[in-house]
C-alpha cells in the first residue's frame, strides 16, 4: 500500500467490515447529537449492542475469553459486493472484538458468489437453509439466497434480539426495480426492533433512500437512530457511473440509521 491506487483499492473491500465495526465499537467516531449524528434512540440501541460486545463481567486477558452461547448476528441485506469478499476480510471483527463470536448473514439472490464459476449462484441447499462458510472458531458466514421477507415469513431467524442483532443495507436502492421486495422486507425490519443502518453513494443517493422511507406508509413506525452523515470509512476509490460516465461516486460514502419504534408502556 505504498501508493494511492493500492490504498484506494484496499478500501474498496475493507469499507464493509470497517463501516460496521466503526458503529459498533466503544470508541466509535460517531458522537451523539448535537456534536454528532447519533440520536438518543440510536444511542440506546448502540449501547445495547455494546453491552454484548463489552460485558461488565468480561475477562481482561484475551486468552481467558469465554464466548457467549449466542453469537452476535450481522445481517447484510441485498448483498452483492459483500458476497465476493474472502473470509479473511471479515476477520477484522475478530481483531477488533476478540471476545465475541459473529455470524455474518448475507441475504439476497446474490448472497453467494461461486469462486469456481466466478458468478453468483443459488446456494443449492434445501429450501430455507443457508450455505454456511466457517472462517474460524469466531466467525461464520451464512449465505441466504432468498429475500429477507421470505426468510422472515419462514420464521427460521427468530427470535431477534436488539442486544445481539443488527442490520446493514449497503446501497439498497429502495426506489429501483427492487423496491417491491424492499417494501415487503421493511415490515420485518421494523418489527425486529433491531438497528438498521443504510449507506449511500453520495448526498443525492442518500436523500433518495431517506425520501422513500419518509413517504412509506410505515414511516410512523420508525425511530431515527442516525441522521445522514459522512462515512469516515468510505471507499476512497472513485467509481464511474455506467449511465453517466462523467460522474463518479464512492462506495459507502454516506450513512443513515433507523429502527422500529419502541412504544413505552402506558399505565391505564
Is 22 inside a domain boundary?
Answer: yes
| This prediction's pTM | 0.91
What total number of domains does the chain contain? Answer: 1
User: What's the first-to-final CA gap in the chain, in angstroms?
Assistant: 63
Q: What is the rounded distance in angstroms from the CA atom of residue 197 to the CA atom of residue 179?
A: 17
Is 186 inside a domain boundary?
Answer: yes
Cell numbers describing residue 138: 469466531
Count the Cβ atoms, other than its own, within 10 Å of residue 98: 12
Is 62 inside a domain boundary?
Answer: no
For residue 19, what are the domain limits? 4-55+95-260
The residues near 37 (Cβ < 8 Å, ≥ 6 apart) are 30, 31, 226, 227, 228, 229, 255
The H-assigned helical ranges of 132-221 are: 148-154, 179-192, 203-215
Is 61 inside a domain boundary?
Answer: no
Is 103 inside a domain boundary?
Answer: yes
Q: What is the rounded distance in angstroms from the CA atom of residue 55 to the CA atom of residue 258?
A: 24
Is 162 inside a domain boundary?
Answer: yes
- Which H or E run includes 115? none
CA atoms within 13 A on the CB side of 206: 22
DSSP β-ladder status, 131-134 and 139-144: antiparallel
Q: What is the rounded distance in angstroms from the CA atom of residue 177 to the CA atom of residue 47?
A: 36
Q: What is the rounded distance in angstroms from the CA atom of residue 235 to the CA atom of residue 220?
A: 33
Is 63 inside a domain boundary?
Answer: no
Yes or no: say if 109 and 145 are a contact pair by the CB < 8 Å rule: yes
Q: What is the rounded distance in angstroms from the CA atom of residue 192 to the CA atom of residue 235?
A: 30
pLDDT tens digits, the chain, 268 residues: what are they? 677 777 878 888 899 999 999 999 999 999 999 999 999 999 999 999 999 999 886 554 444 555 567 899 999 999 988 999 988 899 988 899 998 999 999 999 899 888 888 888 887 776 668 889 999 999 999 999 999 999 999 988 989 999 999 999 999 989 876 678 899 999 999 999 999 999 999 999 999 999 999 999 999 999 999 999 999 999 988 777 665 566 777 889 999 999 999 875 555 5
pLDDT given at position 1:
62
Q: Write out the E strands in 117-183.
A: 119-120, 131-134, 139-144, 165-170
Is 76 inside a domain boundary?
Answer: no
3-state secondary structure of 230: strand
Amino acid at each position: 500500500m505504498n501508493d494511492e491506487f493500492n490504498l484506494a483499492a484496499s478500501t474498496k473491500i475493507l469499507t464493509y467490515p470497517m463501516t460496521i465495526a466503526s458503529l459498533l465499537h466503544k470508541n466509535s467516531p460517531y458522537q451523539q447529537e448535537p456534536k454528532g449524528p447519533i440520536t438518543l434512540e440510536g444511542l440506546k440501541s448502540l449501547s445495547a449492542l455494546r453491552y454484548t460486545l463489552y460485558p461488565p463481567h468480561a475477562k481482561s486477558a484475551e486468552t481467558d475469553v469465554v464466548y457467549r452461547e449466542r453469537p452476535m448476528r450481522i445481517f447484510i441485506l441485498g448483498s452483492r459486493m459483500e458476497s465476493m469478499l474472502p473470509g479473511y476480510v471479515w476477520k477484522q471483527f475478530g481483531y477488533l472484538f476478540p471476545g465475541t463470536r459473529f455470524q455474518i448473514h448475507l441475504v439476497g439472490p446474490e448472497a453467494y458468489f461461486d469462486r469456481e464459476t466466478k458468478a453468483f449462484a443459488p446456494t443449492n441447499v434445501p429450501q430455507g437453509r443457508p450455505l454456511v462458510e466457517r472462517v474460524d472458531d469466531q466467525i461464520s458466514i451464512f449465505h441466504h439466497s432468498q429475500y429477507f421477507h421470505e426468510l422472515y415469513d419462514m420464521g427460521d431467524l427468530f427470535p431477534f434480539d436488539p442486544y445481539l442483532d443488527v442490520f446493514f443495507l449497503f446501497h439498497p436502492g429502495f426506489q429501483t426495480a427492487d423496491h417491491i421486495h424492499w417494501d415487503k422486507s421493511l415490515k420485518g425490519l421494523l418489527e425486529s426492533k433491531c438497528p438498521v443502518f443504510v449507506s449511500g453513494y453520495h448526498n443525492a443517493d442518500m436523500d433518495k433512500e431517506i425520501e422513500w422511507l419518509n413517504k412509506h406508509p410505515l414511516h410512523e413506525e420508525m425511530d431515527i437512530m442516525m441522521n445522514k452523515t459522512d462515512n469516515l470509512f468510505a471507499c476512497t476509490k472513485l467509481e464511474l457511473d455506467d449511465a453517466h460516465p462523467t460522474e463518479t461516486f464512492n462506495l459507502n460514502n454516506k450513512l443513515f440509521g433507523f429502527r422500529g419504534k419502541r412504544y413505552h408502556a402506558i399505565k391505564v
